[in-house]
Amino acid sequence: MDDASMVGLMGRVTGAVGPGLVGEVIVRVRGGAEHFLAYPATPKERIERGTVVMVVEYLPPRTVYVSAAYDA
């Protein structure tokens, strides 16, 4: 999967994402669902488990930067 095709995909946080944390998200991709290590796109943002997020940057093979998809 190339970088451009990951950007914009939606996922759900399965392990809190935030400053000083390596979080985890699950994203539907390649006909299934895969887990990726996740960091916040905004450095001081904390995103709790269960939050729907959007991938804003992809670093192959398993790292994404995400932001909350909806305002809380």
The token pair that represents 21 in the structure block: 């944390």
**Amino acid identity for residue 11 in this structure:** G
Say what the pLDDT of residue 59 is. Answer: 95
- Rounded Cα distance, 22 and 2, in Å: 22
pLDDT averaged over 10-residue windows placed end to end, the chain, 72 residues: 81 96 94 96 95 96 95 70
CA distance 30 to 58: 15
Question: Which residue has 């699950």 as its token pair?
Answer: 26
